[in-house]
Amino acid sequence: MVVSSLADSSRLVRVIVAKAQAKQMFQKLVSKLGGMIGRRIYHLPFSRALKLGSMQAKEIMLICHECMTNGGVLLVQPEQTLSLKLMASSASTPRDVVDDGDEKPTAKFELVYTIGDQQPVQLSPKRWLIAHEVLDLIRRYTEDVKTEFPQLVEVGASQEGSFRHIRIFGANAQRGLIDYVAAHICETGQPMTISKKLKKDLGGFWGPGTRDVLFLLRGLFAGGILVFAFGLKRWRVNYGLTSTREPSTKLAVPYRAKDSPTARSEYSHPDAVIVLTCLSWYYGGLSNEDLFSAFSHLLKTDQVDMEYQLWVKDAYQLPTKFQQLVSINLDLQPTYTRHIIFTITVEGGAGAY
């Protein structure tokens, strides 16, 4: 009744329904409106993947105008409406009737789209370097939390020195781990009581850069980023890497189900993307191609030997002859692939690099 009253040829009336109920709603509208009062039901499937020219855009406009003029009803899904709004400005006449359901108000329909030129994320590269250090502290203190809350912490079995799969379920265990990491950060460095001279010397330290770092740490701890990554999301079930996207990306993306990445959606929060991407590479390790690329980049840097020592410091099973970078010959891939691919990518720090 509401739809038939609104569709008076002066406005475009859309019935928005979830994908699961779309077929049933179409049949209901056809039987109630089409059969009884002769109203036509229109479909407008739309996706951002469509490449529209001026002719196609005009055809869409004509279909919508025909629907409005004839007093028809346009049956659409939420994602189709959002996609259409990205490619053309909405008309000033639409009236929306939202089907009462549990799916529409959920957060998964809240989409964030980028505009403008690509720019470095704020506080880069410190932003992801700090995330690496915080994750390293989490690896360090997870066993302590598991001792206190054995039923609330899940730690996967893995090689010594590697980043094991970690899941923390209870609020008490999550708070305990954050307290351990935060206490380590606060207690490491200068003591709480310092001399006036040293305090004066450190006066320039508390600038905008330090403030941004503190805000970043607060977001990781109090903002729930770490709880989101270790308590609410599962690797390869809720998030992971993908090799099928165009253009390709090495960032973590949402998953619909186990080993099923979404087609286009991404995480909008930069710190959530950074943490989940780090965990994806930590858990899965690097492929041969990724490791060769990392080596090639490493050899072009100024502190080659120092950085390589960070790679191998936790790779306890790496043969002694490969502990020095001079022993690695990129031209002899089979030789070093057999010995160091696993130890450096899973146990070592190449993934973090």
**Domains of the chain by residue range:** 2-98, 125-281, 288-347
Q: Which fold has domain 2-98?
A: Rossmann fold (3.40.50)
pLDDT at 337: 56
Dihedral (C-alpha) 98, 103, 105, 108: value to the nearest 10 degrees?
A: -130
Mean pLDDT along residues 285-291: 77
- Residue pLDDT, tens place only, 217-258: 999 999 999 999 999 999 999 999 998 888 889 999 999 889
pTM here is 0.66
Of 182, 188, 141, 133, the C-alpha closest to 349 is 133
CB 49 within 8 A of CB 80: no
**Main-chain phi, psi angles of 187, to 5 degrees:** -90, -10
Is the Cα torsion angle 97, 102, 107, 109 positive or negative in sign?
Answer: negative
238 burial via Cβ count (<10 Å: 0-12, 13-18, 19+): middle
Q: Binning pLDDT at 50, 70 and 90, where does residue 90 land?
A: very low
Phi, psi of 262 (to 5 degrees): -70, 160
CA–CA distances in Å: residue 6 to residues 21, 71, 187, 345: 22, 9, 65, 62
Distance, CA of 235 to CA of 19 (rounded, Å):
27
